Chains A and B, each alone.
Chain A
Amino acid sequence: SQKIEQNSEALNIQEGKTATLTCNYTNYSPAYLQWYRQDPGRGPVFLLLIRENEKEKRKERLKVTFDTTLKQSLFHITASQPADSATYLCALDLTGTASKLTFGTGTRLQVTL
């Protein structure tokens, strides 16, 4: 079955730096890959979606890359701010129809002053 791996250790970075989070997956490649943000005790919030034929997608300070050869997605936050501190989840859509998502366990990002 499909396995998603995100670094379970928290990522601590200084304000203003670029945070890079990794999502690796096994087996076959998904048609889409999504990134969500989750704050403690709250539901995940969708950030970005990237399709298998897209190498990169940007939204404001966020950038996502998708390498189907490496079976990896990278999530970048440039000019990070303390407000960016949260857990970031990647999720795979294996069907291309949004019928089911498989979520990674998430990586907690802590941005300090």
Chain B
Amino acid sequence: DADVTQTPRNRITKTGKRIMLECSQTKGHDRMYWYRQDPGLGLRLIYYSFDVKDINKGEISDGYSVSRQAQAKFSLSLESAIPNQTALYFCATSDKRSDTYNEQFFGPGTRLTVL
């Protein structure tokens, strides 16, 4: 879905490096989410944000931080990457005000490899 974009799409980095994954959306949604997906473990929530000033930890926030720079932008940082953070990362949005406010819209994903 081109309305939710993620950059970069692929990234290979080394242990200990700082990495930032960016997410932008043109849907005008108030809520944004970061998930990681690992084989056999499914999608797990890292952080979520209801608006610019409301950021919440998900189930696996350790080792990650986020920044909601604007309603349309939500960045995920790995301060010091480690190999077990190798995964597929998805950003998602939802809009509480719409008829389908429960529906989440996902970006195309960022494949991160930490060596």
Contact = CB atoms under 8 A, between A and B. Distances in A.
Interface of A: 8, 32, 34, 41-46, 49, 89, 91, 93, 97-106
B102 A8 contact: no
Nearest to B42: A105
A43 B107 contact: yes
B104 A101 contact: yes
A83 to B, nearest CB: 18
A101 to B, nearest CB: 6
A95 to B, nearest CB: 10
B74 interface: no
Contacts of B58: 100
B66 interface: no
A11 B101 CA distance: 31
Interface string B79-110: 00000000010101010100011111111110
A89 B43 contact: yes
Given A99-B48, A99-B50, A41 B109 contact: yes
Contacts of B111: 41
A22 to B, nearest CB: 15
A97 B109 CA distance: 24
Given A34-B102, A42-B109, A46-B103, A98 B94 contact: yes
B52 interface: no
Contacts of A41: 88, 109, 111
Given A98-B101, A99-B48, A100-B58, A43 B90 contact: yes
6 A-B pairs with least C-beta separation: A43-B106, A105-B42, A103-B43, A98-B102, A46-B103, A103-B42
Contacts of B12: none
Contact of B102 (A44, A93, A103, A104): A93
Given A8-B40, A98-B31, A100-B45, A43 B102 contact: no
A30 B35 CA distance: 20
A49 B100 CA distance: 9
